[in-house]
Amino acid sequence: MNRDIALCYWYSSVLYAFLRGFILLVLVGGPVHASQDGIESLRQTSKAFASVAREVSPSVVFIQVESKVSGSSVSQFSSPFGDDFLRHFFGLPQLPDTPRYNPPKSERRIMGQGSGFVFSGKKGILSDKTYVMTNNHVVENADKISVKFLDGREFDAKVTGADAQSDVAVIEIKVSGVPALSLADSSTLEVGEWVVAIGNPFGLSHTLTVGVVSAKGRTSVGISDYEDFIQTDAAINPGNSGGPLVNMEGEFVGMKTAIFSRIGGYMVICFAKPSNLVKTIADQLIDKGEVTRGYLGIVIQPLTSDLAKSFDVDVGQGILVAEVSKDSPAEKAGLHAGDVIVGYRGKPVNDVGAFRNQVSLTAPGSKEEVAIVRKGDRKTLHVTIGKLTKDKLMAMGPEQSTSEIGLTVQTVTKDLAEQFNVKPGEGVIVTAVDPGSVAALAGIRPGTVILQVNRKPVKNAEAFRQAIKNTEDKRVLLLISVDGAQRFIVLTW
């Protein structure tokens, strides 16, 4: 993270030095034609951004939500976005105790805000309907939703469908004639391309920021269950969530979701969900009100350099099958623990998160090819994709990241249980520890088995992630096992 922030500062310094030198060249009487060409180039770039803003802004909306909650009022000093949100996404320290007014517990109403954009519209005999895309966390548990357009028109909205696992939601309003954003193929987006973000940061309607695509295919970030993020340096702040990220043609390439920063403000790492993923989810929400995901029934893990040598494959080639669920589509197709999956549907596989997304977006019932390497031999298996249900997700979840304490854990499989002297379904295995994190400072290392969170057993990686997420006082008691020896430790963040 520090390296990314340092690069941001370096990039800004280089850009500043270049512009300063260019301006000095013009002022001291450099070649006239060179100065004019440079100024004209900057002018055209400026006009291009202005053109994108004019084209896209009418499709972007400011979303306000109202929810009922029980309990006493929050502190008069609390952030409207929630202190938990600010600490998680901005890395802000715990605020000192401040005076609080605590009336008797009663029902109260809280307000929230975010961004969205017109995705599509349908005309009916009785009424017209317009669909607006946003993040699930913007409208989740909302009792009242309203959207406001650039021209001042405001409408009540209702949720068409929402998917917490991908953090995508579609809401609908009764209005016609609103332009929908054009859709671009996010797979063609390249690192270094200019992108424009439009939204409502801190309630400041239709704010435009500009940046480049910093990276693609970011998975295992720990923001949502299904991840394939576009990373950008276009400034995103609270209130931007759900707004569009567009290319220089004004086409939708991503939906802004989250930011990470140790200092808050502009110098941050920003993430957006790619349009291809979002569109697939949104289409299902509009058509069926829910998302149906494909299911294989395997536990998978990344191939480290040591594992790659052990399984006779090249580093960066494929992902490892740690366990195959009984009577699952994978077992019926002939997949075994220890197989290395190197291809799916004719495309290479080398990332756990990307593979999980590909399977989840495959229609249940379809027959697909899975290429594997088994004991040095390459084979092609044919599998009939099953339907993922909630109980299957909890039982067979892959690695889960908990950014609060800096851990990545994996469900204890049969093979892992034998290796670490525990029972299958008993605890989780730590597979990665972020340097300098709370967990690292407490001495937790990869290979540590976590058996309990706050004196309650954890049976899989997803249950562990939820237990950490639901910890209210930012203090957690863990029962861990190292080399068969158990002990309790306390983590505070």
Known catalytic residues? 137, 167, 241
Output the DSSP codes for 444-477: --TTPEEEEETTEE--SHHHHHHHHHT-SSSEEE
How many CA atoms, within 13 angstroms, populate the side-chain half-sphere of residue 447?
9
Q: Which residues touch 199 (CB under 8 Å, ≥6 apart)? A: 60, 114, 115, 206, 207, 236, 239, 240, 241, 242, 243, 244, 256
Nearest by Cα to 120 from 186, 166, 181: 181
How many CA atoms, within 13 angstroms, populate the side-chain half-sphere of residue 478?
27
Interaxial angle between packed helices 32-56 and 2-27, expressed in degrees from 0 to 180 and rounded to the nearest 10 = 130
Q: Are 100 and 75 in contact (CB under 8 A)?
A: yes
- Residue matched to tokens 């995705």: 119
Nearest by Cα to 224 from 320, 162, 161, 137: 137
Token pair for 321: 């099958």
